[in-house]
Amino acid sequence: MAGSEVRAARVYLRVSTDEQDLTRQESIVAGARAAGFYIAAVYREKASGARPDRPELLRMVADLQPGEVVVAEKIDRISRLPLPEAELLVETIRGRGARLAVPGIVDLNDLVADSAGVARIVLEAVQDMLLRVALQTARDDYETRRERQREGIEIARRAGRYTGRKPDLAHHRRIVSLREAGMSIAKTAELAGCSIAHVKRVTALHRARKALAVPTS
């Protein structure tokens, strides 16, 4: 429509591991378009929501422009961080002049139908309260899962069944390929979605295996 304001959205999709699939979340993109938003970019991440250093999340925040909307399937896609860190992340997004659109807290239709005056103040206060509760719930769920995992490991260890966490071989191969292609450790960590320390460990392990594979004369 001539003279109408273009509303831009940046869509953030996240799962925790390489084995999980982002396909189900792709419908969010179509939903945002159906609500009348121009999709400025889609950010796809395979990393834990409890990590503050997710490369795609940080890239999205850096890309944000005033007036844009961050769209996610659920709040735990954005954050499973401790509440103070989660609130800091949200404030950083808002500090860029952007807003969050998360089902159950604020959706795209709410953003399109802007309120004013007292109604706007009340709506924003309610949304802030719901957001705080949702962020804390996401963190509590993460902590509960971790505790259950620890309990399961301890039970298996006592029974002599625990063999340790199996390495993600596909992820290791990707790290090795990036390093052998000449990528720096820092760039490899960014592209592989892991820590610098993890890149160093995998690289050292790969070199050790290569050394053992070389026949001695």
Which positions are annotated as active-site residues?
16
Q: Which residues are bridge partners to 100 per DSSP? A: 70
DSSP the chain: -TTPPPPEEEEEEEESSTTS--GGGGHHHHHHHHTT-EEEEEEEEES-TT-TT-HHHHHHHHH--TT-EEE-SSHHHH--S-HHHHHHHHHHHHHTT-EEEBTTTB-HHHHHS---HHHHHHHHHHHHHHHHHHHHHHHHHHHHHHHHHHHHHHHHHHTT----PPP-HHHHHHHHHHHHTT--HHHHHHHHTS-HHHHHHHHHHHHHHHHHHSPP-
Alpha carbon distance 195, 53 (integer Å): 8
